[in-house]
Structure 1
Amino acid sequence: MKTEQSVLIAFQLGKGTDHQGRFISEIWDFNSFWLEHDHKYIQWLFPIDAQTKFNRHAPVLTTDDRAAFFESEVLQQAQRKSLDLLLHFFGLQWQEGEIFPSAQLNIREHIWLKRGGHNHLRISRIIRSLALCGQHKLSYQFQQAVIKVAKEYGEVSEESMGYWFKAATDLDSNTE
């Protein structure tokens, strides 16, 4: 018997909307202003297994959702496209399969390089979501890149980097 597709999976596949009526393709078209100032999209692009106190309408990644991500190349590609969007926002880019700072990276425009802020929470969420959704290598690449870039170019606290380091290490046994 086939189970009904969750609203999260429908959203990720471009067949459904978030709680504000937006398709994933609309969020992928956000510019840097909206990526910084809209606080309700990140939970839809990078779902995790816990409810957020910042968006009561955000989906929680279920065991069935995780299984769907593990089994679907299309879902994994959608999450990779979402990561590409956020990499650009963070002043990062892909080069030969690795994540590096872009030529435009600077602490003034890329405020995640400063101490504190909601972007540090977003980074933790992205790392955890990628790992929970079976994209362990991608999660690790992103984690290592943001830690390295933060140390070299930023003023990010050791506490924030510690959260980034732990974001994918306390997953339950279903992720292996």
Structure 2
Amino acid sequence: MRRLVNFYDPATKGCDDRGRTLDEILDWGNNQLEMQHDYIQTVFPLPEESAFNHIGPVVDEETMLIFTQSPELKGNLLRALKRMLAFYGFDAEDKEGHEYELVITPRRDYRNGFFRWVARFNHNHLRITRIIRSLRILGLGGAARDFYDALMDVHAEFDKISPTTIGFWTRALDEPLRYTPDGGEVPWLEKY
């Protein structure tokens, strides 16, 4: 899937299937990020097809290996994560001495972001599951853990996320990569 590599490559600045670059998507306002539903599959791709966007890219082994070995691609992926963290009501700073890890804290105006996902059921819960798993697949496991920990801190305070959703997030973070959070399997990931 050279398209994913080109999309994330800061030199190439390739487009998604709708002609949008990563920079364009990350420049969107929060309302557009909330209302658009066809960008998340490219910005945080997975090795399994999306049930909601059948033309979205799917990570293959070659793409995963290119990402995990490229500081430029991982740097752009981290930039995408930071944008989504702001959307969800968090500030993020690089963790000193830990490459591709973050210190994630609620923003001063966190309620503006938290209302998008601090609820029993919400479409952003699926996006969050995707983000956690995508980060792990593409070589940012530490950032995935940092995001998960921030989510759990908010859950502990507000107790509004369903146990089912927490289970999906936990499986996205902790299961061997070959297993999808919904119980599926990607056989080629068995060796990773």
The two structures have a TM-score, normalised by structure 1, of 0.90
**1:41 maps to 2:39:** yes
Could you tell me which residue of structure 2 aligns to residue 141 of structure 1?
Answer: 146
> Which amino acid counterpart does residue 144 of structure 1 have in structure 2?
D
- 2:111 is paired with a residue of what secondary structure? coil
Q: Check 1:127–1:111 CA distance in 2 against 1; reply closer, same or farther (3 A cut).
A: same
Kept in 2, the 8 Å contact 1:107–1:114? The answer is no
Structure 2, unaligned runs of 5 or more = 96-102, 179-189
Who is 2:100 aligned against? none
The secondary structure found in structure 1 opposite 2:176 is coil
2:173 aligned with 1:170: no
> Sequence identity of aligned pairs in percent?
32
Q: Name the SS for the 2:84 alignment partner.
A: helix
The runs of 5 or more residues in structure 1 that have no matched partner are none
User: 1:109, 1:94 → 2: CA distance?
Assistant: 15
- Find the aligned partners of 1:43 and 1:174 in 2 and give their Cα distance: 24
**Moved beyond 4 Å, runs of 4+:** none
- How many residues were matched structurally? 171
Q: What residue number does 1:52 align with?
A: 50
Distance 1:108 1:43 in 2: 21
**126-135 vs 107-116, which moves further:** 107-116
26-35 or 163-172: bigger deviation: 163-172
TM-score by length of 2: 0.83
SS at match of 1:99: strand
Q: Distance between the aligned counterparts of 2:159 and 2:107, measured in 1?
A: 14
Given the alignment of the two structures, is residue 10 of structure 1 paired with residue 11 of structure 2, yes or no? Answer: no
RMSD: 1.7
